[in-house]
Amino acid sequence: MSKIQPAKGSPYARILGVGGYRPIRVVPNEVILETIDSSDEWIRSRSGIATRHWASPEETVAAMSVEASGKALADAGVAPEQIGAVIVSTVSHFKQTPAVATEIAHRIGAVKPAAFDISAGCAGFGYGLTLAKGMVVEGSAEYVLVIGVERLSDLTDLEDRATAFLFGDGAGAVVVGPSAEPAIGPTVWGSEGDKSETIKQTVPWDEFRAKDTAEKFPAITQEGQAVFRWAVFEMAKVAQQALDAAGITADDLDVFIPHQANMRIIDSMVKTLKLPEHVTVARDVETTGNTSAASIPLAMERLLATGAAKSGDTALVIGFGAGLVYAATVVTLP
């Protein structure tokens, strides 16, 4: 018989608060058109994006995360010293080590929490949320801070007509804590590594270091049509699986918060899932662009701040991107 004592966590976990930070600089399509041969109409029709935010040198990955985290903590009514773990999802923190989560934890005033980074691209928030739920239920942390943050302007090739207009910067954070009832459903997640070449960094860091310094800095590139088809057809299936796992139907939903990759993808998923008209759909991509791991919490924060969604609403969230990886779950909004 095992001598290990059972975990003493909460029976369930929930999102208690959300916060977001968007850089001060707003970049319209006209700026993007200075370096690519395109038009505002073409960009809007293909992506739905009109503007995006780009960070200044002072708006670092850590600095944006601290701002978003402070808002999430205040929204949740949780003090920094109560945070038992900090999980940061990002692909644009350029220090291999230490994890930026440790710096953020220190700057917000958390006291010796577990702190680590994860790299799961645009599905990163879902991955972090799932890990946080497990920690709270298992009892290794009472409250967990989950952050999605990107400075994708640092990884954007402004001469690449297919991607120059897509990416933006920002940070979104949530506090996950104990709940007396189910408020974060089972996660449907996975990867399709055979499609890893469809979204990737153009040049690995070691190859970049070995080349002439005049070599163009590494950037994110993608095979647009392949990614579009995968997102629209395969991710709609994953979203439906998440609804099934939570034991609800599309009619039970109040809100749909997909990764803000592209307006056409969002609209196509809504149609494929046959979402009722009463379901509020996040379309933050229009003014924020694709912020990868930050896009879902940023969209969630904006929906709640504007009153388009309200506390207690049932929301389906799904992230998908480079890997290719994906994660979907149903949550109760804070």
Model confidence pLDDT, tens digit, residues 153-201: 999 999 999 999 999 999 999 999 999 999 999 999 999 999 989 988 8
Q: How confident is the model at residue 214 (pLDDT cuts 50, 70, 90)?
A: low
The neighbour count for residue 254, using CB atoms within 10 Å, is 16
Per the annotation, the verdict on 290 as an active-site residue is yes
Q: Tell whether the model's pLDDT for residue 15 goes beyond 70.
A: yes
Q: Strand, helix or coil at 52? A: strand
Q: How confident is the model at residue 55 (pLDDT cuts 50, 70, 90)?
A: very high
Would you state the pLDDT for residue 217?
Answer: 87
Catalytic annotation, pick one of 29, 53, 93, 259: 259
Would you state the pLDDT for residue 224?
Answer: 82
Our CA angle for 67, 73, 79, nearest 5°, is 120
Per the annotation, the verdict on 278 as an active-site residue is no
Average pLDDT over residues 31-54: 96
The neighbour count for residue 312, using CB atoms within 10 Å, is 10
DSSP 190-255: EE-GGGGGGEEESS-HHHHHHS-TTSPPP-EEE-HHHHHHIIIIIHHHHHHHHHHHHT--GGG-SE
Catalytic annotation, pick one of 53, 93, 122, 262: 122
Q: For 238, list phi and psi in degrees, rounded to 5.
A: -65, -45
Average pLDDT over residues 46-50: 96
Per the annotation, the verdict on 122 as an active-site residue is yes
Between helix 124-138 and helix 295-306 the angle, nearest 10°, is 80
* Residue 243 and residue 256 in contact, taking contact as beta carbons nearer than 8 Å: no
**Whole-structure pTM value:** 0.96
CA 78, CA 146: separation in Å to the nearest integer?
13
- Look at residues 38, 149, 145 and name the one whose alpha carbon lies nearest to residue 82: 145
